[in-house]
Amino acid sequence: MTLSYLSIEEKREILRGVYRLESGLPVPLLVQPFAKWYATQEVMEDWALDLARQTARNHAQEAVYDFTVPHLKTGIGLGALAAAFVGGCEFNDKSDAWIRPIIGADPAAVYRLAPPNLRRSGMNSLILDRIACFQAHGAYPLQPCNIASPLTTASYIWGYSDFLAAIVEHRDAVHHLLELVTEATIVWVRTQMAAIRDLWCLSHEDWWMPTEMGIRVSDDVLAAISPRHYREFGVRYNNVLSREFGGIVIHSCGNIVYQIPTILEIENVRAIDLALPHNDPVKLRDAAAGRVPLTMRYWIQDWEDEIAPDLAAYTDRMVELFGPRGILLQMQTPTIQDAVELSTRFRQRPWGIG
């Protein structure tokens, strides 16, 4: 059976096995002519345009022999929950919504924060309206809004640089904020789950995962702090989410190899999601391969100042290095035709779908 004839459920079944670290399965690939979807001002002001673009992207991707499970994105960026605490956000024409921090150099301000109304505060009513709109007019399952870890959300509310200093200098205040944010995260995700009739999964990125695997969070602050501080301020609150949702997938950009042992301390950590060009692949293999599934991306932007390698050769090297078990690879091509041609070549690899 070729990948072109795999149903969505057949793709999901293979992915379930890969997440369980089963052997003898093909290496799932996402081969896409795009990277991150951004909630820019243009699409936030014109939901019909946003829906049309996402629908067209899903249709085009049907020609690619990969493990895309189509969906629609409803969020405004990782700062959505932070916006509920700070009172709103600022849309722009380049990226997800910007959040204006409200703690800064005044750690006592965290004790004046009240839990927000998670149906109305910040941009949450807009997000729920987008969910209703896309359910009424779209043809695909819906993602929830971008899910940030408690550590990431707290950094938006506090202000990044001041927050990094506060985890050393104002530990009690940081814990107070993280407790508020963790509870709000649970309520906000549950609110969206109740609103979405056809839930894609509890992730805002492009790898489908079974809902029973839990929740995927973006936890990028972990790449900027020590394992000791991540254990105190990250692992502790991720454990709460993991217990609530039945497991957790941890994402971070940046060099995270040094944090792998600490990430693996999280209860029911189901996978680690990362930007492969930011990490030493040999050290990453030695730390994690075979112990936990790895969803590894290499978008064009991930190479930063480096010249991106040939995608076919690089992918072959990574499969040889890590082995085919428990890895999922996501790459960005210049065009949809490049994605079709590259995915067609990968089908014939020994680790391909055939």
CATH of the domain at 255: 3.20.20.210
Plot region of 351 (φ>0 → left; ψ -120 to 50 → alpha; else → beta): alpha
Q: What is the pLDDT of residue 353?
A: 85
Q: What is the pLDDT of residues 169-217, one digit of tens each?
A: 999 999 999 999 999 999 999 999 999 999 999 999 999 999 999 999 9
Q: Which two tokens stand for residue 191?
A: 């609110």
Closest listed residue to residue 66, CA positions, set 315, 254, 264: 315
Which pLDDT score is estimated for 6? Answer: 83
The pLDDT of residue 1 is 41
In the numeric block, which tokens belong to residue 224?
């900027």
Q: What per-residue confidence (pLDDT) applies to 4?
A: 56
CA–CA gap between residue 162 and residue 101 (Å, rounded): 10
CB 31 within 8 A of CB 342: yes
155: containing domain: 3-347
In a domain, 262, yes or no: yes
Nearest Cα to Cα of residue 144 among 89, 188, 95, 210: 188
350, burial (CB in 10 Å: exposed 0-12, middle 13-18, buried 19+) = exposed
Domain total in the chain:
1
- Which residues partner with 297 through β-bridges? 275, 330
Residue 84: partners with Cβ closer than 8 Å, 6 or more residues away: 116, 117, 118, 121, 122, 123, 124, 184, 188
Q: Is residue 290 part of a domain?
A: yes
Residue with tokens 């052997």: 23
Q: Taking the mean position of all CA atoms in its chain, how far away is CA 338? A: 25
Q: How far apart are CA 353 and CA 345, in angstroms?
A: 11
Any domain includes 353: no
Q: Quick check: is 352 in a domain?
A: no
Q: Which portions of the chain are predicted below pLDDT 70? A: 1-5
Residue in the structure block whose two tokens are 């940081």: 174
Asked whether residue 342 is domain-assigned, the answer is yes
pTM: 0.96
Residue 338 to residues 11, 281, 331: CA-CA distances in angstroms?
A: 22, 25, 11
Instruction: Flag whether 354 is in a domain.
Output: no
Q: Which are the contacts of 50, defined by CB distance < 8 A and separation ≥ 6? A: 43, 44
User: Is 253 within the bounds of a domain?
Assistant: yes
DSSP 29-82: EEEES-------HHHHH-HHHHHHHHHHHHHHHTTS-S-----B-----TTHHH
What are the backbone angles phi and psi of residue 347, rounded to the nearest 5°?
-55, -30
